[in-house]
Structure 1
Amino acid sequence: MSVTTTHEIEVPVAADTVYEFLADVENWADVFPPTVHARRETLEGNTETIQIWATVKGSVRNWTSTRIFDSEEKKIQFAQAKVAPPASAMTGVWKVSPINDDTCQVSLIHHFDAGTPEEIEFIRNAVDFNSARELEAITKVFNPSHGRRLYHRTEDEYTIDSTPDEAFAFLLEAESWPHRIPHVADAELTRFDEGGEYLKLTTRSPDGSTHQTGSYRVELPGRRLVYKQDHTPGALISHRGEWQVDEVSGRTRVTSIHHFGVSEASIENMLGPGVSLDEAVDLVAKSLVLNSATTIKTIDQWTQSVGK
């Protein structure tokens, strides 16, 4: 059974700007709510292979796709090479059509196959839901009425005495964090059969108040753990990150990476008037780096306390 769906939206920005964004898949997780992590694996001429981890009806799915670029027509054709069940085939195209110099129409077309009407309905609902969220996100990013946005990346390295396996196990065992990290009041970790997991944390602030955050997490080869918050607190409009654990000269190096975004509207609501985007980025970066440093310090303390 085969189905074709089309989703479209008009965006008040030049077609080239949207096309360039769609062509850079490694930034999708900053903007597209369903995308947890995306990376380019190969690029040869106008053809690339990408791998994507994205949420589908509350769980994380993973697939590999081939994309073919046509910059003149502003089209990107895609076909899943490793298809996420229950689909047996998934292809489609992004098309950006100029309406005038500063307005364009973005079309997202999917063609998919599945074996039963129930599977078709499941895929159609998931495609409809995620496509609508992605097109809405494009509008928010490029519509001037939503205010200017600024995205930033921080990377910090720490050397600790725990072994690499101990450090990475600590990060993976997030359900145990309430017994290991003082400011974590509660943790609930849900692992999905298809891979990936969802971590819901309740943390304490210095003033004693608590707040909840939720993140989708994916373990990657080479002691790497990527994550993305589904609802961002404070002035953040997006936040994703990565833990990397390596052995360097007989010691353990833990690298913490944060990608985050703020907007004019978000900083005014949370930080008050008069705070610039650059100032907000600096404040958020310092807070995230402090949280990472606290977690990494706790890794050493924990492994020493259990008899390392």
Structure 2
Amino acid sequence: MVGERVHRRTYSVDVAAPAGVVYGLIADTTQWPLFLTSTIHVERLDFDGVRDRFHTWAEVNGSVKSWLSHRTLDAGARRIDFHQEAPAGPAPSLGGRWTVEATAPDRSRLVLDHELTVADTRPEDTARMLQATDTTSTTELDRLKATAERWDRLDALLLSFEESVHVKGPAELVYDFLCGIADWPGRVPHVLRAEVTEEQPGVQVVRTETRSAGGPVRTAETVRICFPHAFRIVSKETTPGEPLQAHTTEWSVLPDENDVTVCAQHQVLLHEDPRTRTGTAAARAHVRDLLGGQSNTVLNLAKRHAETAIRTLRTGS
């Protein structure tokens, strides 16, 4: 009979930021898509301030994986215990804890402990799994350290805004347009090419070529998680270009009486300007205008798609 072995790994990093700031970054997983490169989306399911249950989508070894997690938060001890309900990888179980230790008023140490069981089969499989755990964990710690050490400047680097339009048509037709990004070239002016791969239902990996206002052609890759029953699509650019460090979008179609409102919500983390150690007002304005303009174009085309279909059905009846 094949047995299982428990492996324990500990990782730590010293951070030039107050312990409370570091703990806050760990506690709010909904912001992780902006701060952690591999995290695509976090969908919080239940949270009462202490117990937290959420669904995570992330890039793991070149593909998108998802899993459910439970966490117990202890703000006083700055400790968070976690356990994955069904781990994304081959480990039968995976859990651990985050701990933040204050080492000075403005310095701290972030510690991540992992406990995972591995089927006691081929040694090379175990070695590969532990190596992947080591790589992911150290990368996460480095990204959280880099974010925490800009804690006094994050407000200047974070940008959030929303565009919306009212549509006299059904949510299904609006969502159909938003989900069908493969059809956007030739319909959406700034989208020149869109190559979509959907290896698992509802998870679109999209490679696009876009051009706005006569500028250069930009190639990008985006992962989109589609929730058709809720008429929502959440996405993250996995290859953001300057001045973006991270960019996520949520498209949502909200029924309103007989009509709907369709929204595009953007969350952006800007690269820090090395001359000012902040995000410049010019960069914020540029991103707001560019992404807002592109969103408005898509929203109004989705509106026309739905309303034209309704008019066609009515005149043909």
Q: What is the TM-score of this pair, normalised by structure 2?
A: 0.85
Please say which of residues 168-177 and 193-202 is displaced more in the overlay: 193-202
Task: Go from structure 1 to structure 2 and tell me whether the alpha carbon gap of 1:168 and 1:126 turns closer, same or farther (over 3 Å shift).
Answer: farther
The equivalent residue for 2:54 is 50
Hey, what's the Cα distance between the residues in 1 that align with 2:73 and 2:186? 50
Residue number in structure 1 paired with 2:139: 133
| Aligned partners of 1:60 and 1:194 also within 8 Å | no
Paired residue for 1:281? 284
Question: Do the aligned partners of 2:49 and 2:73 also contact (CA within 8 Å) in 1?
Answer: no
Q: What residue number does 2:269 align with?
A: 261
Matched length = 303
Instruction: Work out the CA distance in 2 between the residues paired with 1:100 and 1:274.
Output: 23
Q: 2:301 & 2:252 partners in 1: Cα distance?
A: 16
The 2-side partners of 1:146 and 1:184 are apart by: 37
Change (3 A) 1:305 1:27: same
Pair 1:217-2:224 in alignment = yes
Paired residue secondary structure (1:175): helix
**How do residues 136-285 of structure 1 correspond to structure 2 at under 5 angstroms?**
136-143=142-149, 149-193=156-200, 196-207=203-214, 209-220=216-227, 221-265=229-273, 277-285=280-288
Which residue of structure 2 aligns with residue 36 of structure 1? Answer: 40
2:11 maps to which of 3, 7, 11: 7
Give the unaligned 5+ runs of structure 2: none
Q: Secondary structure in 2 aligned to 1:155?
A: strand
Quick one: structure 1 residues 207 and 157, their matched pair in 2 at CA, closer, same or farther if it must change by over 3 Å? closer
Q: TM-score, normalised by structure 1?
A: 0.87
Contact 1:87 1:119 in 2 (8 A): no
Change (3 A) 1:43 1:298: closer
Rounded Cα–Cα distance in structure 2 between residues aligned with 1:166 and 1:231: 30
Change over 3 Å in CA distance of 1:291–1:109 after alignment to 2: same
Q: 1:122 and 1:169 mapped to 2: Cα distance?
A: 41
Structure 1 residues 90, 276: CA separation in 2 closer, same or farther (over 3 Å shift)?
closer
Any conservation in 2 of the 1:59–1:192 contact (CA below 8 Å)?
A: no
> By how many angstroms is 1:34 displaced?
1.2
Q: Which amino acid aligns with 1:160?
A: V
> Which deviates further from its counterpart, 289-298 or 153-162?
153-162
Distance of aligned partners of 1:162 and 1:108 in 2 relative to their CA distance in 1, 3 Å threshold:
same
In 2, are the aligned partners of 1:13 and 1:142 still within 8 Å (CA)? yes
Percent identical pairs in the alignment equals 25
Give the Å deviation of 1:131. Answer: 1.7
Letter in 1 for 2:188: I
Secondary structure at the residue paired with 2:161?
Answer: strand
Instruction: State the structure with more CA Rg.
Output: 2
Shift of 1:84: 2.1
Structure 1 residue matching 2:273: 3-state secondary structure: helix
Per-residue deviation at 1:256?
A: 0.8
Q: Distance in 2 between matches of 1:79 and 1:261?
A: 28
Q: Which amino acid aligns with 1:127?
A: T
Deviation at 1:31, TM superposition (A): 0.5
**CA-CA distance at 1:194 after TM superposition:** 7.6
What is the alpha-carbon distance in structure 1 between the residues aligned to residue 50 and residue 151 of structure 2? 34
Does the C-alpha gap of structure 1 residues 167 and 121 become closer, same or farther in structure 2, counting only changes over 3 Å?
farther
RMSD (Å) for aligned C-alpha atoms:
2.8
The structural deviation recorded for 1:111 is: 1.4
Give the deviation of 1:85 after TM superposition. 4.0
